[in-house]
Amino acid sequence: MRTVVVIAVLALIDCSKKEQPFSKVVDFENVSRVSADLLIEKATPLESDSSELLGEYLRVRYDKEGFFAMNTDRGKGIHHFSSAGKHLGIIAEIGEAPGQVPGISNFKLLGEVLNVTSRMGNSKDLHTFSRSGELLNSNRYPLNAFAFYK
């Protein structure tokens, strides 16, 4: 009986406390300012015979051996550039021919291969390309996902 009384008293004490909602006020007058000066340490001009890479929405991946760039708005594929900026061709070209992909959602460089995702309804296709542009394999997954995460 004592146990029940102790539990009831503790429950009443705990229920009588009200939590204060968390709120924080930021005084913008006293926030320190940070300089917006950015320093570009190195720029590599990329050669291309196409205006496809001119635009606001570019996705670029790079490593010490080169660059991979794609216009996400109206791209024809993923352009491959050497580390010096020389255009080496298009990898993962968008189209319906053998070796092409129906579209590109995202891509990630993993060692010697380039993984490319494309969406088809409620499924996701994962295509693996070599650095030379050869389609190594394609797999369809019955799920809906949007990006690569580290």
* pLDDT tens per residue across span 98-148: 888 888 888 999 989 999 988 877 788 899 999 888 899 998 887 765 555
68-78 mean pLDDT: 87
Secondary structure string (H, E, C) spanning the chain: CHHHHHHHHHHHHHHHCCCCCCCCCCCHHHCCCCCCCCCCCCCCCCCCCCCCCCCCCEEEEEECCEEEEEECCCCCCEEEEECCCCEEEEECCECCCCCCECCCCEEEEECCEEEEEEEECCEEEEEEEECCCCEEEEEEECCCCCCCCC
Task: Tell me the average pLDDT of the chain.
Answer: 80
53-75 mean pLDDT: 85
Q: Where are the domains of the chain?
A: 58-141
Q: What pLDDT score was predicted for residue 143?
A: 73
Q: What is the largest CA-CA distance in the chain?
A: 88
pLDDT band at 73 (very low <50, low <70, confident <90, very high): confident
pTM, to two decimals: 0.66
